[in-house]
Amino acid sequence: MEEWTILVIENGTGFLKGGCAGDELPQFVLPNVIGRQKKTGMMIDLEKSKSCFICDQVASSNEILSLTYPLQNGIINNFEDLELIWEYIINSVWNIDPDDHPILMTLPTLNPTTKNTKIFEIMFETFNCRCLYLQNESVLSLYSNGYDTGILVDVGHFMSYVVPVLRFHPIRNGIKSLEIAGAQLTNYLSDLLLEKEISLEAEYLTEVKEKYGFVALDFDQEINTRKQNQSFTSSKLNKPIKLTNNESITLSNELFQMSEPLFKPSLLGVQKKGIPELIIESINSCEEEIQKEVSSKIVLTGGTSLLKGYQERIQKDLSSLFQKKMKLKVSALPERKFSTWIGGSILGSTAFFQNRWTTKDDYKKYGKSLTQKFAFY
């Protein structure tokens, strides 16, 4: 990697993405997780010298390890683990000297500003980073769609957010969050399959969800139509699936039941409104004069937004729920799984951006008060 190449790191609750500014897609996507042995006596198959396993060193089905995710409920709550992950990326994945590369890092939407101080501390003191820029992930996601203002609807791995943004600034009191996203849907699919006495390992559950799962345009109607047609078109209702391990299963309603908690969180015992209602609440919480602008720029992002039928359902529910006489426009780019990272990649390669860095000298001069001086949003 050339000296001075700007590196972009996105810290997702489930997956960390990394690559070079100016590139179209990240170079790597790694699970943002640490695995530690549950009991020392059980480590027969694993390298004994290792006390912890980082990112891709943790196989998704590894029963021997207990897993910890440094981001919880969308907030960095374990800096020690995150530091281990960043170290792994810098030293093992990239093998670079952080003194040679400016780093642009994304901030989780709900992360309190006070926690940014710790990011500066780790990057400058532990990694001797030359310069650093932090930016809110929702702002970057929207920016990659060509907007500085709008409503960003991000359904990722552990968290979903609806974030109103005005001229690159999230409107804090309009942010809505829901603790249901890809991971919870995978677990729900697992429960639905167990009712049919089908038990799949985590990676095959994810495969089923991503390849065959979908969102019903109208849930009740989909169920009823299937009930009525059951006797004579059962081959159309039951989908035979061949997994990459060659196992064959036949699934039906589970394929759309599993995504319904995004619209009806109570299915998972979560007493919150579904994504379309949260979008409307978020629009309504904005000042009257900007509501028209944000409702015409509703952007869907995050890996889980790739579910088939998701955009159509959001559009349909919004048009039936939204009472105001304003034009609603919902858009979703094909590469929306990487919107945040792509936003960082574009921003990192613009000239506008060049004097926005916080340098090592700034850090030496201002120390812990840096987050105040360089509050980016």
Ligand X SMILES: Nc1ncnc2c1ncn2[C@@H]1O[C@H](COP(=O)(O)OP(=O)(O)OP(=O)(O)O)[C@@H](O)[C@H]1O
Give the shortest CB-154-to-Mg ion separation in angstroms: 6
- Whole-number minimum distance, CB 339 to ligand X, in Å? 8
- Contacts with Mg ion: how many residues (CB under 5 A)? 2
The Cβ of residue 168 has, within 10 Å, a number of other Cβ atoms equal to 17
From ligand X, Mg ion, none, which one binds at residue 14 (CB under 5 to 8 Å depending on kind)? ligand X
Q: Which does 343 bind (CB under 5 to 8 A by kind): ligand X, Mg ion, none?
A: none
CB of 32 to Mg ion, least distance (A): 10
13 part of the interface to ligand X, by CB under 6 A: yes
| Nearest distance from C-beta of residue 11 to ligand X, angstroms | 8
Q: How far apart are CA 329 and CA 325, in angstroms?
A: 13
302: contact with ligand X by CB under 6 A: yes
Burial class (CB in 10 A: 0-12, 13-18, 19+), 220: exposed
Residues 107-132: b if buried by 16+ CB within 10 A, e if exposed: bbbbbeeeebeebbbbbbeebebbbb
* Site membership for ligand X, residue 206 (CB under 6 A): yes
- Give the binding range for ligand X (CB under 6 A) out of 36-44, 181-189, 239-247, 353-361: 181-189
Interface pattern 306-345 for ligand X (x via CB under 6 A) = xx-----------------------------x--------
Closest CA to 170 of 161, 179, 160, 182: 161
Selected binder of Mg ion within 8, 12, 82, 188 (CB under 5 A): 12
Per CB under 6 A, does 175 bind ligand X? no
Q: Which two tokens stand for residue 208?
A: 């089923």
State which of residues 81, 154, 254, 260 lies at the interface with ligand X (CB under 6 A): 154
Q: Binding segment for ligand X among 93-101, 117-125, 157-165, 342-350 (CB under 6 A)?
A: 157-165
The residue within the footprint of Mg ion, chosen from 31, 98, 156, 261 (CB under 5 A), is 156
Structural contact between residues 95 and 124, judged by C-beta atoms closer than 8 angstroms: no
Q: Which residues bind Mg ion (CB under 5 A)?
A: 12, 156
Q: Which residues bind ligand X (CB under 6 A)?
A: 12-15, 154, 156-159, 181-183, 206, 209-210, 302-304, 306-307, 337
